[in-house]
Amino acid sequence: YRITLMAGVDIDDISVRGDMTSAHASRSDEEQFSLDAAPVLHRLARIEAGSTAELNGEIRLPLAMITPIRHGTAAMFVPLVRIEAAGMGAGGPVRVRSAFVIGLDEQGAARLQPFRLDQGPRVYQKVGSRTLAVPAFG
Protein backbone atom coordinates (compact mmCIF):
# COMPACT_ATOMS: atom_id res chain seq x y z
CA TYR A 1 0.00 0.00 0.00
CA ARG A 2 0.90 3.64 -0.36
CA ILE A 3 -0.91 6.26 1.73
CA THR A 4 -0.67 10.04 1.56
CA LEU A 5 -1.80 11.90 4.68
CA MET A 6 -2.61 15.59 4.14
CA ALA A 7 -3.15 17.86 7.14
CA GLY A 8 -5.41 20.92 7.06
CA VAL A 9 -4.39 21.73 10.65
CA ASP A 10 -1.45 20.64 12.80
CA ILE A 11 -1.97 17.00 13.79
CA ASP A 12 0.02 15.39 16.62
CA ASP A 13 0.48 11.83 17.90
CA ILE A 14 -0.66 10.14 14.68
CA SER A 15 -1.19 6.41 14.40
CA VAL A 16 -2.13 4.59 11.21
CA ARG A 17 -3.74 1.19 11.62
CA GLY A 18 -4.81 -1.23 8.94
CA ASP A 19 -5.42 -4.77 7.87
CA MET A 20 -7.07 -6.95 5.26
CA THR A 21 -10.04 -9.29 5.43
CA SER A 22 -12.29 -11.18 3.03
CA ALA A 23 -15.40 -9.44 1.75
CA HIS A 24 -18.28 -11.90 2.04
CA ALA A 25 -22.08 -11.64 2.06
CA SER A 26 -22.30 -13.92 5.14
CA ARG A 27 -20.41 -11.38 7.29
CA SER A 28 -22.02 -8.28 8.78
CA ASP A 29 -20.94 -4.79 7.74
CA GLU A 30 -19.60 -4.21 11.24
CA GLU A 31 -17.42 -7.33 11.05
CA GLN A 32 -16.15 -6.39 7.59
CA PHE A 33 -15.39 -2.73 8.35
CA SER A 34 -14.30 -2.84 12.01
CA LEU A 35 -10.68 -2.01 12.76
CA ASP A 36 -10.78 -3.00 16.44
CA ALA A 37 -8.04 -5.62 16.12
CA ALA A 38 -6.02 -3.94 13.33
CA PRO A 39 -2.31 -3.50 14.03
CA VAL A 40 -0.57 -0.13 14.07
CA LEU A 41 1.31 0.20 10.78
CA HIS A 42 2.88 3.63 11.34
CA ARG A 43 3.34 6.25 14.05
CA LEU A 44 4.15 9.90 13.37
CA ALA A 45 4.85 12.57 15.98
CA ARG A 46 3.38 15.40 13.91
CA ILE A 47 2.19 16.61 10.51
CA GLU A 48 2.01 20.38 10.22
CA ALA A 49 -0.90 22.18 8.55
CA GLY A 50 -0.48 22.17 4.77
CA SER A 51 2.05 19.31 4.87
CA THR A 52 1.79 15.75 3.66
CA ALA A 53 3.30 12.46 4.79
CA GLU A 54 3.85 9.53 2.42
CA LEU A 55 3.63 6.10 4.03
CA ASN A 56 3.99 2.70 2.45
CA GLY A 57 4.20 -0.90 3.44
CA GLU A 58 2.63 -4.29 2.97
CA ILE A 59 -0.48 -5.91 4.40
CA ARG A 60 -0.92 -9.66 4.20
CA LEU A 61 -3.85 -11.91 4.98
CA PRO A 62 -2.93 -15.46 6.04
CA LEU A 63 -4.41 -18.06 3.71
CA ALA A 64 -6.31 -19.68 6.59
CA MET A 65 -8.13 -16.36 7.25
CA ILE A 66 -9.63 -16.15 3.74
CA THR A 67 -13.38 -16.73 3.56
CA PRO A 68 -13.92 -18.00 0.00
CA ILE A 69 -16.97 -17.11 -2.03
CA ARG A 70 -18.38 -20.24 -3.67
CA HIS A 71 -19.95 -20.02 -7.11
CA GLY A 72 -20.61 -23.50 -8.42
CA THR A 73 -17.26 -25.27 -8.32
CA ALA A 74 -15.33 -22.00 -8.30
CA ALA A 75 -13.81 -20.60 -5.10
CA MET A 76 -13.18 -16.85 -5.21
CA PHE A 77 -11.57 -14.27 -2.93
CA VAL A 78 -12.42 -10.57 -2.65
CA PRO A 79 -9.86 -8.75 -0.46
CA LEU A 80 -11.04 -5.82 1.63
CA VAL A 81 -8.34 -3.45 2.95
CA ARG A 82 -9.21 -1.25 5.94
CA ILE A 83 -7.15 1.77 7.01
CA GLU A 84 -7.53 4.31 9.83
CA ALA A 85 -5.45 7.41 10.61
CA ALA A 86 -6.00 8.99 14.03
CA GLY A 87 -4.35 11.81 15.94
CA MET A 88 -4.94 15.01 17.89
CA GLY A 89 -5.55 18.30 16.10
CA ALA A 90 -7.38 21.59 16.52
CA GLY A 91 -8.05 20.85 20.19
CA GLY A 92 -9.58 17.42 19.75
CA PRO A 93 -9.29 13.95 18.24
CA VAL A 94 -9.12 13.52 14.47
CA ARG A 95 -9.95 10.19 12.82
CA VAL A 96 -10.25 9.20 9.16
CA ARG A 97 -11.20 5.72 7.98
CA SER A 98 -11.14 4.23 4.50
CA ALA A 99 -11.87 0.84 3.01
CA PHE A 100 -10.92 -0.51 -0.40
CA VAL A 101 -12.03 -3.57 -2.32
CA ILE A 102 -9.17 -5.15 -4.28
CA GLY A 103 -9.64 -7.18 -7.45
CA LEU A 104 -8.65 -7.85 -11.02
CA ASP A 105 -9.03 -4.76 -13.16
CA GLU A 106 -9.92 -6.30 -16.49
CA GLN A 107 -10.28 -3.90 -19.39
CA GLY A 108 -13.89 -3.26 -20.29
CA ALA A 109 -15.27 -4.73 -17.05
CA ALA A 110 -17.58 -2.43 -15.08
CA ARG A 111 -16.46 -3.94 -11.76
CA LEU A 112 -13.32 -5.44 -10.32
CA GLN A 113 -13.24 -9.21 -10.67
CA PRO A 114 -12.51 -11.55 -7.72
CA PHE A 115 -9.37 -13.66 -7.44
CA ARG A 116 -9.94 -17.34 -8.26
CA LEU A 117 -8.62 -19.59 -5.48
CA ASP A 118 -9.44 -22.84 -7.30
CA GLN A 119 -6.95 -22.19 -10.11
CA GLY A 120 -3.79 -22.33 -8.00
CA PRO A 121 -1.14 -19.69 -7.30
CA ARG A 122 -0.70 -16.98 -9.94
CA VAL A 123 0.90 -13.62 -10.58
CA TYR A 124 -1.65 -10.95 -11.50
CA GLN A 125 -0.60 -7.98 -13.63
CA LYS A 126 -3.74 -5.83 -13.54
CA VAL A 127 -4.82 -5.47 -9.91
CA GLY A 128 -6.97 -2.50 -8.98
CA SER A 129 -8.82 -1.02 -6.03
CA ARG A 130 -12.09 0.79 -5.47
CA THR A 131 -12.92 2.97 -2.49
CA LEU A 132 -15.89 1.86 -0.42
CA ALA A 133 -18.14 3.95 1.81
CA VAL A 134 -17.37 3.11 5.45
CA PRO A 135 -20.49 2.85 7.65
CA ALA A 136 -20.77 5.30 10.58
CA PHE A 137 -19.97 2.61 13.17
CA GLY A 138 -16.75 1.81 11.28
What's the pLDDT score for residue 137? 57
Binned at pLDDT 50, 70 and 90, residue 38 comes out as very high
What's the pLDDT score for residue 22? 92
For residue 41, pLDDT over 90 is answered with yes
What's the pLDDT score for residue 133? 86
pLDDT digits (tens, 9 = 90+) for 99-116: 999 999 987 778 999 999
For residue 8, pLDDT over 50 is answered with yes
What's the pLDDT score for residue 138? 46
pLDDT digits (tens, 9 = 90+) for 70-129: 999 999 999 999 999 999 998 899 999 999 999 999 877 789 999 999 998 889 999 999
For residue 31, pLDDT over 80 is answered with yes
For residue 55, pLDDT over 70 is answered with yes
- Give the strands of the sheet with 69-71, arranged side by side: 69-71, 74-77, 115-116
For residue 130, pLDDT over 60 is answered with yes
